[in-house]
Amino acid sequence: MTCDLSRSLLHGYLDGELDPLRAEEFERHLESCSQCIAQLGEQESLRASLQSAQLYERAPAGLSTKIKRQIASAEAESDDQWSWVPIWRWIAVSAAIVVLVAVAYLGGQRILAGRSGVEQAELTEVIDAHVRSLQPGHLTDVASTDQHNVKPWFDGKLDYVPPVRDLAENGFSLVGGRLDVLNGRSVAVLVYGRRKHFINVFVWPESRKESLIPATGTRNGYQWIYSRAHGMEFCAISDVSAADLHDLTELLQE
């Protein structure tokens, strides 16, 4: 174990976040590394200072009332707004929505790419995870073209069963599987090869009524297709064509 490595492990140890095996490994390292012992002591005293300095700042007294008032008035407003609207107005509203959808669609990627906030976090995570997976050694946790190797590998690592299928005869050869983290939970990623390109398919159980990921789009040269079927959410991402991604997603959802 090099000391650089244990400098990051040291923090996991300090925070009680290492699994027992790695914690034990680190404790063994501590026995022989005076540098780490010193650093651990310093970090402990730094933490003690931070915690005793009363840096936590509570919300000002009136904030809670302000928030409740604003929520109540926002709600009352929307009540008033909708209850007496005559039917022809609904038609106008529907027409406006059609126009909006069209504009949003045509405006397309630029609007989506520029939007920030919770909605985009999940998509950004998918794209980042895809880019990371293409770096050497990150593509698969289990490398196998055999679905009977890949599928059982996920057992006990997830609380659901991802649909794993080798689709070589359809032009998508199974490369393997991997665990990734999306929105704070572990999800299955199936890796397929298509003419020397890799496709990552993220699969996780439906967690929200409406999706935070747009159905399709391109960012940084990567194309994604997002869809749902059988209580699962699928997001396939790659630099292959959208049509290929569509085919793959559909095959997986059969």
Partner 1 sequence: MADVLESGERERFERLVMPHQDAAFNFARWLLRSRADAEDVTQEAMVRAYRFFRGFRGGDARAWLLQIVRNACYTWLEKNRAVDLTTEFDESIHQQHSGNSPEAAAVAANERDHLMRALESLPPRSREVLVLRELEGCSYKEIAAIASVPIGTVMSTLARARERLQQVLSRSTGRAAAGTPVRRDGGAL
Q: Given the rule CB under 8 A, which residues bind partner 1?
A: 7-12, 15, 17, 38, 42-43, 45-51, 53-60, 63-64, 66-68, 70-72, 74-75, 78-79, 81-82, 90, 116-118, 121-122, 124-125, 129, 180-181, 183-184, 207-210, 212
Q: Are 205 and 233 in contact (CB under 8 A)?
A: yes
CB of 173 to partner 1, least distance (A): 27
Angstrom distances, CA of residue 239 to CA of 34, 35, 95, 128: 48, 46, 36, 14
CB of 62 to partner 1, least distance (A): 9
CB of 78 to partner 1, least distance (A): 5
Tokens 């995870």 belong to residue: 129
CA nearest 221: which of 127, 125, 123? 127
Closer by beta carbon to partner 1, 189 or else 248: 189
Closer by beta carbon to partner 1, 159 or else 169: 159
User: In sequence order, what are the residues at sequence separation of 6 or more whose Cβ sits closer than 8 angstroms to the Cβ of residue 104?
Assistant: 111
Amino acid at 101: V
Residues 77-84: contacts with CB within 8 Å, 24+ apart?
none
Closer by beta carbon to partner 1, 180 or else 247: 180
CB of 89 to partner 1, least distance (A): 12
Closer by beta carbon to partner 1, 50 or else 243: 50
Closer by beta carbon to partner 1, 35 or else 109: 35
Q: How many CA atoms lie within 13 A of 248 on its CB side?
A: 33
CA nearest 178: which of 197, 192, 196, 194? 192
CB of 156 to partner 1, least distance (A): 18
